[in-house]
Structure 1
Amino acid sequence: MDRQHIGSAQPARLRVEVRTVDAASELFTPVGELDHHTAELLRAPLDDALDAGRSRLVVDCSGLEFCDSTGLNVLLGARLRAEAAGGGVHLVAMRPPVARVFHITGAEAVFTVHETLATALPG
């Protein structure tokens, strides 16, 4: 099932598409800017997936143009919950500006990073 989470208070600078892959996996495709003002648009569906028992969270970052420390913290929080449930957060196709945030902070070392969606999805 495909779903979208879009902010309503202001013009959304982030759109998040969500697709259930299988009983344990969910695919998130954030498009736009992930920052203090938009982080909840990704946090909510990540939490929903974890609450539904999905512990393999795949985030396709190919449409993510920007990520600040708040966005990074959303992903780190999801990673902790996913790992506690026996899964993890898999990041895919990070653009250079987004990858730089993960590299500078050292966060790239705690995520599984994939070049392509095909290598990140189960099966």
Structure 2
Amino acid sequence: MTQLAIRTRTTPAGPVVELTGELDYDSSAQVRALFPELALRDGSQLVVDLTGVTFCDSSGITALLAARNHALAARAGISLVAVPDHISRIFQMVGLDQVFTTHPTAQAAEAAWTPPKTRP
């Protein structure tokens, strides 16, 4: 078992959450508790970087869906980056590849983000 490490940083587009290790029943509560603490604003983007995720079970997927729900409630976007092949296959099997926007890197997700237009 590899304990999950969580690192967050802020970009002009919004917060980036980097996960490393196993995203499973034991760690998913910690991940779910993190998302409401993140400052999201209307039009910003939450990026969840899965580069270092070595395992993901249904609890981990539920945590990612909670992140999506948090972003949508804040009228923000969400992107998953560097989704490992083993997680990507699961997403395809259950249709989550149609729910989440994915990018190869956090930089690519930020480059694809469109800042909200300011109202006059």
Shorter-normalised TM-score: what interval?
Answer: 0.7 to 0.9
Deviation at 1:42, TM superposition (A): 1.5
Give the distance between the partners of 1:16 and 1:101, measured in 2 at CA: 22
CA shift digits 1:44-77 (9 cap, x unpaired): 222211xx33452101111111111111111112
SS at match of 2:51: helix
The corresponding residue for 2:106 is 117
* Residue 83 of structure 1 pairs with residue 72 of structure 2: yes
Structure 2 residue identity aligned to 1:53: L
Give the distance between the partners of 1:99 and 1:13, measured in 2 at CA: 21
Q: Which runs of 5+ in 1 are unaligned?
A: 1-10
Give the distance between the partners of 2:63 and 2:75, measured in 1 at CA: 18
SS at match of 2:62: helix
Where in structure 2 are the equivalents of 1:61-100 lying within 5 Å?
A: 61-100=50-89
TM-score (norm 2): 0.81
Structure 2 residue identity aligned to 1:83: L
Q: Which runs of 5+ in 2 are unaligned?
A: 115-120
SS at match of 2:17: strand
Q: Which structure has the bigger radius of gyration? A: 2
TM-score (norm 1): 0.79
Q: Identify which of structures 1 and 2 has the higher relative contact order when contacts are C-alpha pairs closer than 8 Å and 6+ apart.
A: 2
Give the distance between the partners of 1:115 and 1:68, measured in 2 at CA: 21
- Structure 1 outlier segments of 4+, above 3 Å: none
State the identity as a percent: 39
The corresponding residue for 1:46 is 35
